[in-house]
Amino acid sequence: MATTVALYNIKGGVGKTSAAVNLAWAAADEGARVLLWDLDPQGAASYLLRIRPKVRGGGAKLVRGKSDPAALLKGSDHPRLDLLPADFSYRNLDLALDATKRPTQGLARVLAPLAGDYDYVFLDCAPAISLASESVFAAADVLLVPLIPTPLSLRTYDQLRGFVSTEVAKPRPRILAFLSMTDGRKALHRSVAEELAGDAGVLASAIPAASDVERMGLQRRALAQFAPHGRAARAYGALWTELRGRLAD
């Protein structure tokens, strides 16, 4: 049965999509069978994997059970990594879920027939607290939260933990976080990293603010494909190794 990891943050622009693509690729590279579901209407993960972000009938038909998710899967450049792509229709995902019975279970229902075919499912989530995100919470085993080392990012992290612990029905997803877009030259980044060093929910591996990550949009490939020895690719490799160990706990 697949372990589902949702890359999620209330804030945008924190590196969710880059992490989703690179972690999914790293897991597949180790031999795991991996599915990445692009849930963002911008379709950025689909774009980075060079897959046309087109879902026949849109996200509405998918979450209402009117489309076969297996028929919508797309292969990537990696033979063990598949993608369930998004398109702009996903902007209406809240409305589509609201029209179903038990809307918070909508994403889990889509994944249920696929779970036996994969070891890991990664969800690249749009930023927000919404009905769609509540459906993510119900479908995910782990919420993996990228944090830029700034006070506002820490504030949203605390808000998310509070919301999940009080508003989300059991079984609640486990919340893990990691520092993203870090710059060791900045005193504030160093200070926040030191502050979080004792937090058991924050992984030790951090992703640097590196030009290679920005170049993913030009290359439309995972870092392991075009810059495997760069510090960003090595950081994502370390993050996956640490995350895999936590998932096994």
What is the rounded CA–CA span in Å between residue 182 and residue 146? 11
- Tens of pLDDT, residues 132-161: 889 999 999 999 999 999 988 889 999 999
pLDDT at residue 112 is higher than 60? yes
Residue 59 binned pLDDT confidence (cut-offs 50, 70, 90): confident
pLDDT at residue 118 is higher than 90? yes
* Percentage above 70 pLDDT, the chain: 98
What is the rounded CA–CA span in Å between residue 207 and residue 233? 9
**Cβ-count burial of 188 within 10 angstroms (0-12 exposed, 13-18 middle, 19+ buried)?**
exposed
Parse the chain into domains and list their residue ranges.
3-247
| Distant-in-sequence, close-in-space partners of 26: CB < 8 Å, separation ≥ 6 | 224, 236, 237, 240
- Tens of pLDDT, residues 191-204: 888 888 888 899 99
What is the rounded CA–CA span in Å between residue 103 and residue 229? 43
Residue 104 binned pLDDT confidence (cut-offs 50, 70, 90): confident
Buried b (16+ CB within 10 A) or exposed e, 29-66: beebbbbbbbbbbbbbbbbbbebebebeebbbbbbbee
**Cβ-count burial of 199 within 10 angstroms (0-12 exposed, 13-18 middle, 19+ buried)?**
exposed
- Tens of pLDDT, residues 13-28: 899 999 999 999 999 9
Which two tokens mark 78?
Answer: 């990696």
* Percentage above 90 pLDDT, the chain: 65
What is the rounded CA–CA span in Å between residue 220 and residue 234? 18
Task: Specify the pLDDT at position 82.
Answer: 97
DSSP codes, 156-176: HHHHHHHHHHHHSPSSPPEEE
pLDDT average, residue stretch 86-93: 80
Residue 243 binned pLDDT confidence (cut-offs 50, 70, 90): very high
Task: Specify the pLDDT at position 53.
Answer: 60
What is the rounded CA–CA span in Å between residue 177 and residue 205? 10
Q: What are phi and psi of 97, to 5 degrees?
A: -65, -40
Task: Specify the pLDDT at position 26.
Answer: 98
Task: Specify the pLDDT at position 57.
Answer: 59
Return mean pLDDT, the chain: 91
HSE value, Cβ hemisphere, 13 Å, CA-based, for 72: 28
pLDDT at residue 56 is higher than 60? no
CATH code, 3-247: 3.40.50.300
Cis? peptide before 146, omega within 30° of 0:
no
Which residues are registered as beta bridge partners of 6?
123, 143
Residue 125's closest CA among 112, 134, 117, 113? Answer: 134
Least confident of 52-56, 94-98, 203-207, 222-226: 52-56
Residues in the chain: 249
- The SS3 assignment for 244 reads helix
Task: Specify the pLDDT at position 72.
Answer: 86
pLDDT average, residue stretch 45-59: 77
